[in-house]
Amino acid sequence: MHCLPDRRPRRMHDDARLQWTLSDEAKTHLRALDLAFARFLASMDAAASADWLLLAALLSRQLADGHLCMDLAQWMRAAEEQAWPPAWRDAIRRTSGQPAPAWLSDGTGHAPVVRDGTRLYLRRYWDHERTVARAIGLRLGTDTHSSAALEQTIGALFTDARAPDWSRVAAAIACQGAFTVITGGPGTGKTTTVVRLLAILQARQLASGTGPLRIRLAAPTGKAAARLTASIEGQLSTLPVDPSVRAAIPSQVETLHRLLGARPDTRAFAYHARRPLALDVLVIDEASMVDLEMMAAVLAALPDTARLILLGDKDQLSSVEAGAVLGDLCRRADAGHYTTTTARWIAATTGDDIQPWVSEDARPLDQHIVMLRHSHRFDADSGIGRLAHAVNTGDAGHAQSLLESQHAGLAWTDGACDLRTLRELVLGESGAGYRAYLDVIHRDRPPAGAAPDAFEAWAREALHAFGRFQLLCAVRHGEEGTGRINQRVEEILQREGLVDASHAWYEGRPVLVTRNDYALGLMNGDVGLTLRMPNDEGETVLRVVFLVSDPRRGRVDTIRCVLPSRLGALESVFAMTVHKSQGSEFDHTALILPGRRSAVATRELLYTGITRARSKFSLIAPAAMLGETIRQRVSRHSGLAERLAGDD
Ligand SMILES: Nc1ncnc2c1ncn2[C@@H]1O[C@H](COP(=O)(O)OP(=O)(O)OP(=O)(O)O)[C@@H](O)[C@H]1O
């Protein structure tokens, strides 16, 4: 079916079918984009009913909550969550007795709305979901032949006595299959596993005499890429393998945008289905942050013969954009769902017993997913590790008692974020909080006329000190949002005489880049500090300094100085949203939850905030909000899991 706009467009006010778009309810519940979509569809089919047009606007609205589709079999869930007016619910019910509009199809033709089983999609997202399902689907199926060579190499690199050692299981599964997901909480060994796995794959390849595997490593943000690069560099240096194998494993991690050849001013990438990436193995870290559109772009550009390995924490918040690919893939990961064949083959290959994770309801996808379950970063007594676990399992009572027990590494202010609390956090006891990096700026500043290297070292030290503490907020707006908290912190520091914030740009102002700037080599999520740095004439002037990765120098901590006026989209970052903090870690994080019920304060958000902390986590939230937040889950509607299960 090919839909052309009706030749006799009617003005919106004349079109009785669009009267509802003028109502207060429409303005409250729908975005301008959703209303514009309904108007566009009205112009495509003069016979489509008002009820169908409303349904289309509501479908478009679902994307704002991260849903990829609207399931007509369960639309009441969305109606409840989004508090649709009763009249709208009646309208949706009526559509089942009305003829389908011309702009709706089963996917054939170009109709902008697609019905697939009971799900309605905007075509773009239907296409993306199918691209992802196809790319994963063609990689399902594991070669379960035991081989002495594989047993030996896995045994040599994975020597943990723990049984089962899920890292070893993940390596075996990834060696024999073209698609693997390795999921796990912070410090569970995802990076360690993948580095050893790459060594096994590369050693096998080099031994076959057919030239090394082309391995590429990628992450969704510059920050995550830099962190993984540093971690892989560390792991490689101690990897007990032949130097030729070590030399053939890359450590440089690039952003997905760079991997795909993003170009300024266009959504199109240089690499796509007709011009695939030249690689044999692709590893994507922090995959929970990759939305469906980006995952579809990567998988479309992936050669069919390439091996794909996704790493990430399935319990973290997903991207703000629509879709939660990693979450969808890992829905059944806790219980394993392995087949007896997989379990027998693992026992023969690695000696690990995964029989308790065998299920009669095993599906092909489950055989490619491995969850690492032991944190090497947080031991069994660690307050942060225990709190993260309690939150993740929905145990609000235990989470509260851990916070109340003043466990090492945990602090809780039961109440709103008042001035006293904020002052204590920001000014810190014994030079912690934000005082630490401001002390570095003031105390360690090189003398006028010092060599540029001395200023670079000082800037690096200040950036590292700033990176040790971070205030996190659930939301951007309102009293507990990043905007207001940033303002209040600035006022506190100004009153202490630690900054002079009388102008927009001042020494010590930390900023967050909020849009990729390829010309400057800065990525969305990069954090910079405003410092007085020497210019070419030797005068000190305000510059924003960033730590960036420089592939030519093979380093991840190159200092880049930028004129404040050259920077485009940015904001102050004394406080950052939990969403923006993903892919980063800080010694101490302090999370401020909204004082009142909020749709964004979810279990996933709290878990993500807690796991950004390496050694100390502070929570500022009324007790009632803590319980509410742990009970509230993110749910994202999609058909990906069912598509891969073959149910669709
Ligand atoms: N099997 C192991 N035995 C002992 N220590 C390990 C093991 N695996 C990983 N580690 C150590 O645990 C720490 C975390 O490992 P790694 O960085 O691989 O975890 P991760 O899951 O990638 O963490 P992240 O949360 O940073 O993504 C590292 O110091 C690593 O050396």
What value of ipTM does the predicted structure carry? 0.97
Which residue ranges are tagged as binding site?
A: 184-191
Atom of ligand 1 nearest to the CA of 162: 1
Distance CA 354, CA 573 (A): 45
Contact 51, 92 (CB under 8 A): yes
pLDDT over threshold 70, residue 332: yes
Q: According to the CATH classification, is domain 133-377 in 3.40.50.300? A: yes
Q: How far is the CA of 287 from the centre of ligand 1 (A)?
A: 17
Distance CA 5, CA 251 (A): 52
What are the C-alpha distances in Å from 322 to residues 61, 111, 218, 273, 287? 11, 21, 20, 22, 14
Q: According to the CATH classification, is domain 16-117 in 1.10.760? A: no
pLDDT tens figures, 490-524: 999 999 999 999 999 999 999 999 887 878 878 88
Residue-level pLDDT at 646: 66
Look at residues 578, 637, 605, 473 and name the one whose alpha carbon lies nearest to residue 81.
637
Atom of ligand 1 nearest to the CA of 192: 18
Contact 619, 630 (CB under 8 A): no
Pairing mode, if any, of strands 119-122 and 69-71? antiparallel
Atom of ligand 1 nearest to the CA of 376: 12
Distance CA 260, CA 265 (A): 15
Hey, which of 162, 326, 376 would you mutate to test ligand 1's pocket, going by the most ligand atoms within 8 Å of its Cβ?
376
pLDDT over threshold 50, residue 411: yes
Look at residues 84, 86, 97, 96 and name the one whose alpha carbon lies nearest to residue 57.
84
347 burial (CB, 10 Å; 0-12 / 13-18 / 19+) is middle
Which stretch of 178-187, 412-421, 426-435 has the lowest confidence by average pLDDT?
A: 426-435
Can you give the residue ranges of every domain in the chain? 16-117, 133-377, 383-499+506-631
Q: How far is the CA of 192 from the centre of ligand 1 (A)?
A: 6
Distance CA 641, CA 327 (A): 9
From the CB of 190, is ligand 1 less than 6 Å away? yes
From the CB of 385, is ligand 1 less than 6 Å away? no
DSSP 202-213: HHHHHHTTS---
- Pick the residue whose CA is nearest to atom 14 on ligand 1: 187
Residue-level pLDDT at 60: 92
- Does 133-377 match 383-499+506-631 in CATH topology? yes
Q: How far is the CA of 564 from the centre of ligand 1 (A)?
A: 38
pLDDT over threshold 90, residue 79: no
Distance CA 488, CA 64 (A): 30
Atom of ligand 1 nearest to the CA of 167: 1
pLDDT tens figures, 365-377: 999 999 999 888 8
For residues 378-400, average pLDDT: 89
Residue length of the chain? 648
Which residue ranges are tagged as binding site for ATP?
A: 184-191
- Pick the residue whose CA is nearest to atom 16 on ligand 1: 189
Options 3.30.160.70, 2.60.40.420, 2.60.40.10, 3.40.50.300; which CATH number does 383-499+506-631 get?
A: 3.40.50.300
| Main-chain dihedrals φ then ψ at residue 306, nearest 5 degrees | -80, 145
Residue-level pLDDT at 606: 96
Q: How far is the CA of 175 from the centre of ligand 1 (A)?
A: 20
**Considering the entire predicted model, what is its pTM?**
0.87
Rg of the chain over Cα atoms, rounded to whole angstroms, equals 26
